[in-house]
Amino acid sequence: MASAMDTSPSRTPPHRHAYRAADAVLRSHTPTSQFGKSALVRQCLDGSAFAPPAKQQHRKTDAAASLRCCAACLRPGATRRCGRCGKASYCSKDCQRTDWARHKKTCLGRDDALNAPIQSLTSELSNVFRLGEDALKRAGLPNPSVSWSKEVLEALCDCCLLPGLQLVPSDDRPHEGLGLGLRTIALLFLRHGAKPTPKLLQMVLAHKSVESGPGMEDPAAYIVARARMGPETFPSGHPLRGPCDDALIRLGPLLRHASSVQLPPEPLLGLGSGEDDRVEIIEALLRSLAYVQEPAPSGKVDLVQR
């Protein structure tokens, strides 16, 4: 997940949105290239992402320029370029004026290209926040809420938690981050006795991990008892052992069972554990989406094999 940015306190951000923009880019999974993302974060922090495009210097005609075709008349030898995007070539100012009605639809300035991922992400997150606020208001719930509850989870799952999770799951391994996020939401539902929504159940069952290793299994394959806080697994006959009273029942089947049968809340069910406090970071992200103040306990993996 996103890590804290190392910035010197003596340096003043060159732009009032520098830190917010860099954080948004860091949390997003756009652009896909990690190198491209790192470069964009640096440009946010040093202010170059917000600077107007520099004026192009006059370029001498060379062999490559003589082979370019004019975007308007299609004749070779176009030595002029669009001063905004630098991509479209023209043989004269008249051709550029003629072509502008078509070209302006795809012309993206250098500052626009840098800010596009930030603007897109912040716009989508703002919409998620607005939908969440509306859902809390319709349900008559406080905003913000002190802690997670059955009512908050059921009100915000489909309109806020799941869309927000898909926007900013991870900065390096988005598929794994999404799987861990789905597992966290599902365990929160079971912990508070909330009824899983069809969308949550579908996403948990449909998610397939593309990686292998500790903590990277599919959310549906997670053994629920691994998230129990304490030295023992759930006792025989416990509702979280599922309809077949299975101590090793997995999250997918139990979530499907909970969608048809009302299960009681279980405060001893935590959120499990993961590498590098990833569970805690995912839960903190979900709290920021749901306007919840107090974190849920993560718990450690101490499943007793019998």
What is residue 216's predicted lDDT score, i.e. its pLDDT?
A: 55
Is 248 within a domain? yes
Q: Are residues 143 and 205 in the same domain?
A: yes
Mean of the pLDDT values across residues 268-278? Answer: 80
Q: Are residues 146 and 278 in the same domain?
A: yes
What is residue 121's predicted lDDT score, i.e. its pLDDT?
A: 63
Q: Is the pLDDT reported for residue 59 higher than 80?
A: no
Question: Band of the pLDDT at 84, cuts 50, 70, 90?
Answer: confident
Is 254 within a domain? yes
Q: Are residues 196 and 90 in the same domain?
A: no
Torsion of CA 15, 18, 20, 26, to 10 degrees: 170
Q: Are residues 68 and 168 in the same domain?
A: no
Q: b vs e for 94-126, b when ≥16 Cβ sit within 10 Å of the residue's Cβ?
A: ebbebbeeebeeeeeebbeebbebbeebbebbe
Final residue belonging to a domain, choices 75, 103, 131: 103
Final residue belonging to a domain, choices 53, 88, 103: 103
Q: Are residues 183 and 261 in the same domain?
A: yes
Q: Are residues 215 and 282 in the same domain?
A: yes
Better-predicted residue by pLDDT, 306 or 117: 117
What is residue 182's predicted lDDT score, i.e. its pLDDT?
A: 92
Of the given ranges (17-21, 75-79, 83-87, 94-98), which has the lowest mean pLDDT? 17-21
Q: Are residues 203 and 97 in the same domain?
A: no
If DSSP codes are grouped into helix, strand and coil, which group holds residue 50? coil
**Number of structural domains, the chain?**
2
Q: Are residues 82 and 185 in the same domain?
A: no
Question: Band of the pLDDT at 215, cuts 50, 70, 90?
Answer: very low
Is 188 within a domain? yes
Q: Are residues 203 and 96 in the same domain?
A: no
Q: Are residues 179 and 243 in the same domain?
A: yes
Is 72 within a domain? yes
Of the given ranges (10-14, 63-67, 78-82, 133-137), which has the lowest mean pLDDT? 10-14
Is 194 within a domain? yes
What is residue 43's predicted lDDT score, i.e. its pLDDT?
A: 57
Percent of the chain as helix, strand, coil, to the nearest 5: 50, 5, 50
Torsion of CA 132, 133, 136, 139, to 10 degrees: -100
What is residue 254's predicted lDDT score, i.e. its pLDDT?
A: 96
Mean of the pLDDT values across residues 266-293? Answer: 83
What is residue 272's predicted lDDT score, i.e. its pLDDT?
A: 86
What is residue 180's predicted lDDT score, i.e. its pLDDT?
A: 86
Is 165 within a domain? yes
Q: Are residues 191 and 277 in the same domain?
A: yes
Q: Is the pLDDT reported for residue 65 higher than 80?
A: no
Q: Are residues 216 and 82 in the same domain?
A: no
Taking the model in full, what pTM does it have?
A: 0.62
Question: Band of the pLDDT at 55, cuts 50, 70, 90?
Answer: very low
Q: Is the pLDDT reported for residue 230 higher than 70?
A: yes
Query: Do 165 and 286 touch, CB atoms closer than 8 A?
Result: yes
What is residue 118's predicted lDDT score, i.e. its pLDDT?
A: 55
- Is the preceding omega at residue 144 within 30 degrees of 0, hence cis? yes
Is 44 within a domain? no
Query: Do 266 and 164 touch, CB atoms closer than 8 A?
Result: no
What is residue 27's predicted lDDT score, i.e. its pLDDT?
A: 54
Q: Express each pLDDT in 111-164 by its tens digit.
A: 555 555 555 666 677 788 889 889 999 999 998 889 999 999 999 999 999 998
DSSP H stretches of helix in 30-109: 34-46, 63-66, 93-103
Domain range for 284 is 139-290
Percent over 70 (pLDDT), the chain: 63
Is 212 within a domain? yes
